[in-house]
Structure 1
Amino acid sequence: MNIFRFPSPEPAPEDRLHSEARDWLILLTSGQATAADARALRQWCAQSAEHALAFERTKALWHGLKPAAEALQTPRYFGRRAFLGGAVAASAAFLLVRYSVPGGFSGIGADYITEVGEQRRFDLGDGVSLELNTQTRVSRRTMADGAQGIELLSGEVEVLARQTTPLKVQAGAGWLSASQARFNLRNTDQSVCVTCLDGALLVDVQGQRIHLESGQQLTYSAQQVSPPKTVDTSAVIAWRQQVLVFNDATLSQVIDEINRYRPGMLLLLNAELGKRKVQARFSLDQLAGVALLIRDAYGATCTELPGGVVVLS
């Protein structure tokens, strides 16, 4: 028996854009979106006026559904296709993803973990202690010679090493070695930044061995290594005093950093506004209302979405 199969018609460009916009909203409100995802969404919206309009219309739909989402007390078993099929299913899908996978999947199996807004101290013994900042994953590593080592999988940590045998630390494409040092190490968005706070340390990356002393900072990725520079270390470790300090940063950079500390996400869609330079100092307990501060300071429009997402445009 012959079975005839007819190809499915290609979706109209407008339908395709709205489908992609819905997928962006699902990711954005899933609790797993990153600063890199936010930047990618800004780039998607900037492709054309039609892209931006599709996102605005989808955002308006979700905003209108907020009461329905809040009324649902338990997750229902709807998936992404259910969202595409109707408004109530969209709310249920959001709640399912949001509450069935708390904390997301980054760093599963890590030995030392902090969640959004959490900071914790861990004493590893043998003269090594860790101060983990928000959303950080660190694992123990045993070196070939049996010495103690750790790997910063993601996030930010202040490391204190006071031992005779150098502590080995892996972060991204590089390895650090320190026996008498205190340093701040950050691994976010596929970029690593190490700041020597006290003592000295060595960084091996891309065939280079770089010596850092107190007050020096090095940034590297799998593609490049920037020259070491002298920095204000008090600004680097301000998070230890529950403060974020921004000196001559763009508003986009400020928002990306704030997103590491607060539930949900701030999403800035105004590219020109994102380029504005900022001198700011925020206490971490101010971050719940930071969207209103940005609105009042820069005239941005705020739209609240489910899951603590605030769109600034």
Structure 2
Amino acid sequence: MSKADRSRDAAARWFARAQDPDISAQERQALAEWLAASERHRAEYAALERIWGTAGAMDAARLRALAEPAGGAGMPAARRAAAGWPGRRGAWVAGTCALALAGGWLAWQSAVPEPGGRVAGAQVPAAYQAAFSTAPGERRTVRLPDGSRIQLNTRSRVAVHFQAGRRDVALLEGEAMFEVAHDGAQPFIVDAGAGSVTVTGTRFDVRRRTAGMEVAVESGSVDVRGHSDAPRKAGAAVRLTAGLGATVDGSGAVAPAAPVDLSAALAWRDGKLVFNDRPLSEVAAEVSRYRRQPVRVADAVAARLRVSSVFSADDPDALLAALPHFLPVAVRQLADGSAEIFSP
């Protein structure tokens, strides 16, 4: 078996497992590591995502008939597991992918996405809709049909809608990093409530807040506009280039471009939380995004304390355990799973 075939088979097994709602956090982390290890891994997995999107219109009986992997029909469950075959639901997914390929989508295997760009030789669909989300503490990367990629941070939701002449993404909650495939004829527009970001091809981060949004650009350039009912503010745009960021407040007013500490702003992609002289109140709010239950600061004295450190986003409770060792605070775990930081 060639290296490409091994990557394709591994992608099919991982994709099948990822569709199971019972997939564990450890398996999701293992999948993320497998994807990060190779551009070929990411390309093969992205091809399956695109194929899966076409399977909804296919006959369910035929899909189920293809659900058993070749050579696995009479194989005992223990042997199938040892051989790396996915479970029953995963096998159904594999069958779906097999049918999609048999139905004429095989061309996508020789047209995998080029790094950071559009799928070579592939047509971007005239209409495409999808929605993606992450749970507390989860990160997820999805590839779109045009070759663009979205990395979702914890507690994030996006809705994607492609149509003739434009590519729209609504960031409904949380934060996402966008790697946009260049297409001058079809601008890529991210709406985050208070404002929007328009690009044709670049890498940038958008965070939606309760009132407002934040944008940071890693490469290329973007135009940031605020949504406002006030005529004097509406339509005003700020151009951001690499290393610059801007905020949009709840009224739709866009702040001037300013330098951004990208290493801190984008550290979440590597599973890190970076704080540079931030008040403990902000640290607690940020850590709460990565926990199922929030962290609260009980008093004003503790809230004003400053924090400069790096912590793991995958283990926010380690930060809580460390706080009393370098700040004059104590941490109390409450019965509902939340935590309270207070001055002793």
TM range (shorter): 0.5 to 0.7
CA RMSD of aligned residues (A): 1.8
Q: Is the 8 A contact 2:277 2:306 kept in 1?
A: yes
TM-score normalized by the length of structure 2: 0.56
Report the Cα offset of residue 283 of structure 1: 1.6
The residue aligned with 2:250 is: 222
For residues 142 and 286 of structure 1, the distance between their equivalents in structure 2, rounded to whole angstroms, comes to: 36
Does the alignment pair 1:169 with 2:198?
no
Given candidates 136, 141, 148, the residue that maps to 2:161 is 141
The farther-off stretch of 213-222 and 296-305 is 296-305
Out of 216, 219, 237, the residue aligned to residue 209 of structure 1 is: 237
Amino acid at match of 2:240: L
Counterpart in the other structure of 1:274:
303
Q: Structure 2: how far apart are the matches of 1:158 and 1:219? A: 16
Residue number in structure 2 paired with 1:233: 262
Partner of 1:181: 202
Superposition deviation, residue 149 in structure 1: 0.8
Do residues 199 (structure 1) and 220 (structure 2) align? yes
Structure 1: unaligned runs, 5 residues or longer: 1-108
Give the C-alpha shift of residue 146 in structure 1. Answer: 4.8
The question of whether the paired residues in 2 share the 8 Å contact of 1:110 and 1:137 is answered with no
Cα offset for 1:110? 7.8
The answer to whether the Cα contact below 8 Å between 1:127 and 1:163 also exists between their aligned partners in 2 is no
Which amino acid letter does the alignment assign opposite residue 156 of structure 1? E
SS at match of 1:253: helix
CA–CA separation in structure 1 for the residues paired with 2:241 and 2:292:
36
Q: Look up the SS of the partner of 1:125 in the other structure.
A: coil
Counterpart CA distance in 1 for 2:312 and 2:200 is 33
Contact 2:194–2:212, Cα closer than 8 Å, also in 1: no
Match of 1:158 among 167, 177, 195: 177
CA displacement 1:215-252 (0-9 Å, x = unmatched): 00001123233221011211111111111111121111
- Larger relative contact order (Cα-Cα within 8 Å, sequence gap ≥ 6): 1
Distance (whole Å) between structure 2 residues aligned to residue 253 and residue 110 of structure 1: 33
Indicate the residue corresponding to 1:99 in structure 2. none
Q: Is the 8 A contact 1:168 1:177 kept in 2?
A: yes
The separation in 2 between residues aligned to 1:298 and 1:182, in whole angstroms, is 37
Runs of 4+ in 1 over 3 A off after TM superposition: none
In the alignment, the residues of structure 2 paired with residue 137 and residue 158 of structure 1 have an alpha-carbon distance, to the nearest angstrom, of 12
CA contact (8 A) 2:275 2:309 kept: yes
Post-superposition Cα deviations, 1:17-71, rounded to whole Å, max 9, x if no partner, equal xxxxxxxxxxxxxxxxxxxxxxxxxxxxxxxxxxxxxxxxxxxxxxxxxxxxxxx
- Paired amino acid for 1:172: G
8 Å CA contact 1:113–1:138 kept in 2: the answer is: yes
1:290 deviates by 2.2
Give me the whole-angstrom Cα distance separating, in 1, the residues matched to 2:328 and 2:216: 36
Asked if 1 retains the 8 angstrom alpha-carbon contact of 2:130 and 2:161, the reply is: no
Tell me the number of residue pairs that the alignment of Structure 1 and Structure 2 aligns. 204
Amino acid at match of 2:138: E
- In structure 1, the residue corresponding to 2:135 is in which secondary structure? coil
What aligned pairs does 1:79-94 form with structure 2 within 5 A after superposition?
none
**Contact 2:238/2:256 (8 A) holds in 1:** no
How far the C-alpha of 1:298 sits from its partner, in A, is 2.2
Report deviation, 1:302.
2.7
Instruction: Say whether the 8 Å CA contact 2:182–2:202 is kept in structure 1.
Output: no
2:284 corresponds in structure 1 to: 255
Query: Percent of pairs identical after alignment?
Result: 30
When residues 200 and 117 of structure 1 are mapped into structure 2, their CA distance, relative to the original with a 3 A threshold, is: same
TM-score computed with the length of structure 1 as normaliser: 0.62
Task: Specify whether residues 141 and 110 from structure 1 end up closer, same or farther in structure 2 by C-alpha distance, changes over 3 A only.
Answer: closer
CA contact (8 A) 2:152 2:175 kept: yes
Distance 1:277 1:299 in 2: 11
Any gaps of 5 or more consecutive residues in structure 2? 1-128, 227-233
**1:133–1:156 contact (8 Å) kept in structure 2:** yes
Partners of 2:264 and 2:330 lie apart in 1 by: 30
One-letter amino acid of the structure 1 residue matched with residue 140 of structure 2: R
